[in-house]
Structure 1
Amino acid sequence: MPTEKIYELSGHKLLVVFDEQLVRLKKPKALQKFLSTDIDIRSEVLANYIKQDYFLFIGKEFEITNDSLIVEIWGHVYASYFAKAMKNLVKLKLVENVADFIINRSDTIDCGEYEVDSNRKFWDILAKFKGIILTFLPKKIK
């Protein structure tokens, strides 16, 4: 049975759903606003809370490294951000369709362990480049 928790961090309400081998982050707009400043520190704080509460709710460690979890969250948050910007800049039906696909896919943030998340290996590889990725992220999201 999934368990929900609302985190109130820096004035933002973030909804996380905990399930066996999986956490789901809801309310992507609130998450995007939360990560709009101090992304590195705020991401680490959120990952620590998630992993701590996963242990409390599920009764075992969440088998995802902090860096892998953080990079996956960034991937979803910023893919959506860039897709929306692209859609506003380029008024072509094909571009709008691709942007809508990215927005719909990235707004569902499911972070799962290897057995339930076919993308885990991808995020683990990207996690090795977290510092480099951080330098390319916008310093502020409007």
Structure 2
Amino acid sequence: MDKTYILEDCNIKVGLEEGIIRVYGDKELWRFLDGKAHERFVQLVKTIKSDYLNEFNKPLAISDDSLIVEVLVHIYCDYIGLKFNRAFKFRLLNNIVKKLLKRAEVVDCGEKDKDTNRWVWDALARFKWIFIKILPNNLKESNLKLN
């Protein structure tokens, strides 16, 4: 089921299924995270996990840090891809990047039995602070996201 959480005057779109959450990396999410990624990710994860518990009567079996890193990496890849396509005009490469961007826009985060690469995010979770540090502080001002 699709949900919209209103956090800090931003409409954050999330999908919930048993064992899986989807975070939509649209302009509103970028605006929400802009300049305050760490505290806003904590707020978002708490909101999602609380709602998940209410919907399914069990906690989502993904650590907060693993969830944060997975979403962060997708946003960062989206940002880099959009910057690349704006800076370089190589039709073939731009088309490949556009396809990759489509995959980065929706972040599917699943529990271990539903997500074969959960172990990757779990392993990277200890480096969350690095990913937060490299995320640009001016996401919304980059005007890379049109919707």
| Distance (Å, rounded) in 2 between the aligned partners of 1:119 and 1:93 | 31
| Distance (Å, rounded) in 1 between the aligned partners of 2:75 and 2:44 | 14
Match of 1:40 among 35, 38, 41: 38
Is the counterpart of residue 17 in structure 1 residue 29 in structure 2?
no
Structure 1: which 5+ runs fail to align?
Answer: none
- Which residue does 1:139 correspond to in 2? 137
| Distance (Å, rounded) in 2 between the aligned partners of 1:103 and 1:134 | 20
- TM-score, reference length from structure 1: 0.92
Structure-2 change in CA distance of 1:27 and 1:73 (3 Å): closer
Deviation of 1:5 after TM superposition, in Å, equals 2.3
Question: 1:48-127, aligned counterparts within 5 Å?
Answer: 48-127=46-125
| Distance (Å, rounded) in 2 between the aligned partners of 1:60 and 1:47 | 15
RMSD between aligned residues:
1.3
Question: More relative contact order in 1 or in 2 (CA 8 Å, sep 6+)?
Answer: 2
| Distance (Å, rounded) in 2 between the aligned partners of 1:83 and 1:131 | 22
Question: SS of the residue aligned with 1:7?
Answer: strand
> Deviations 1:57-98 (Å, cap 9, x if unpaired)?
011110000001011111111211110100111111232023
Question: Is the 8 Å Cα contact of residues 28 and 77 (structure 1) preserved in structure 2?
Answer: no
Deviation of 1:56 after TM superposition, in Å, equals 0.5
Match of 2:26 among 28, 37, 54: 28
Is the counterpart of residue 130 in structure 1 residue 124 in structure 2?
no
Q: Percent identity?
A: 34
Q: Structure 2 counterpart of 1:102, which letter? A: L
4+ long deviations beyond 3 Å: none
Question: Is the 8 Å Cα contact of residues 22 and 110 (structure 1) preserved in structure 2?
Answer: yes
Structure 2: which 5+ runs fail to align?
Answer: 142-147
| Distance (Å, rounded) in 2 between the aligned partners of 1:90 and 1:72 | 27
Question: Is the 8 Å Cα contact of residues 31 and 77 (structure 1) preserved in structure 2?
Answer: no
Q: Structure 2 counterpart of 1:131, which letter? A: W
